[in-house]
Amino acid sequence: MRNFFIYPKADKMIGSPNPYISNFIGALSKHHKVVNAHAKNRGVFNLFRFLFRTDIFILNWIENLPEKRHGKFQVILFVCFMALAKVFRKKIIWILHNKYSHHRKEDKWIDFLYGFMMKKADKIITHSHSGLDFVKSNYPQYAQKVEVIFHPVNRMPVHEEPAEPTYDFLIWGSIFPYKGIDKFLSYIKNNPQGRPYKILLVGKCFNQQYKEELSRLLTKEITFYDELWGLDKIAEYSRMAKFTLFTYHSNTVISSGSLMDAISMGSIIIGPNHGSFKDLSQFCFIKTYDSFKDIFRLYRENVPSPEKAKKEGKRFFEENNWDVFVQKIVKACKEI
């Protein structure tokens, strides 16, 4: 049994709790000790607190430290911790979730942390091949550290015979500019081929200026709920839509927890042809587009039968659930 520390202890984006960390801790705790599983969240200070009780540190989104409160100070503390970790021969696993911050175009502190982690991490895990390609292109000397392990899915997908859909497309999740929703709605509004489609947009938008921009792009065929819904309610509405659509425009995206949730809901998904969407397009329930005009061609194509989708969804779950993911992580740890 190994002693693990998982950072961050609490992973909550503004207004949208992300279950990734809690699922990770729960699955890993079945066979190993997660030393900070019940500790209060003290950010980077807990790295020092648990230094001598930990064999392997698993770091998520550590490159986003500069965006946090007292971010520069936290970066300096983190660099000090890494020096101590190396002295005491602690192993560092960095999970590379994104190619850059979704919310900042350029930041020298973020740049520093990417280069620093590439050099100092003993192993780099990424959830799609685009993450590996990113390292090969920008930090080729560290590409041998990278291993691709797909983002785990939380539950077996349920595919049912669909009723007559109320909506053509469901777009859901907390709303941020990097998701490209404004660009898609603008395309819809300015292209006749997009106007007949009924769209349900659900998600809290915390940027008032961006929300006003979205409001100006709404048409009578678009329903927008500026609200946070639980996954059960979203799943109910996903069964009322022919497709769940992801409009991610930013190339910073490597993988998507929301994509995994949509798979669990049994949704038929349309997403951009990069990152996890591209990797998983081998499955019948995921279709990808290179440009917005492709979306309407995909819409006209036949959706997979519930039997085929159910069979492939079961295979995906068996190969990529949280228990399997943890087994792969532990195996990767034995190689360093």
What pLDDT shows up at residue 192? 77
Between CA 72 and CA 280 the distance in angstroms is: 37
What pLDDT shows up at residue 54? 98
Between CA 332 and CA 310 the distance in angstroms is: 30
Per residue in 231-248, pLDDT tens?
889 999 999 999 999 998
Which helix (H) or strand (E) is 77 found in, with range? helix 71-87
**In contact, 14 and 173? CB cutoff 8 Å:** no
What pLDDT shows up at residue 162? 62
Q: Is the pLDDT of residue 252 over 80?
A: no
Both structure tokens of 287 = 């279709």
What pLDDT shows up at residue 50? 98
Most confident of 86-95, 188-197, 258-267: 86-95
Fold agreement (3-152+321-334, 167-319): yes
Nearest CA to 249 out of 211, 291, 207 is that of 291
- The CATH architecture that domain 3-152+321-334 belongs to is 3-Layer(aba) Sandwich (3.40)
Q: Is the pLDDT of residue 158 over 80?
A: no
Both structure tokens of 301 = 């194509």
Nearest CA to 330 out of 34, 59, 28, 120 is that of 28
Sequence spans of domains, the chain:
3-152+321-334, 167-319
CB neighbour list of residue 267: distance below 8 Å, 6 or more residues apart: 170, 238, 241, 243, 244, 285
What pLDDT shows up at residue 164? 78
Q: Within a 13 Å sphere around the CA of 25, how many CA atoms are in the beta-carbon half?
A: 19
* 3-class state of residue 186 by DSSP: helix
Question: In the structure, what pLDDT confidence band is assigned to residue 156 with cuts at 50, 70 and 90?
Answer: confident
Region 20-38: mean pLDDT is: 95
Give the lowest-confidence range in 7-11, 183-187, 208-212, 289-293. Answer: 7-11
Both structure tokens of 6 = 């998982």
- The CATH architecture that domain 167-319 belongs to is 3-Layer(aba) Sandwich (3.40)
154 phi and psi angles, rounded to 5 deg: -85, -30
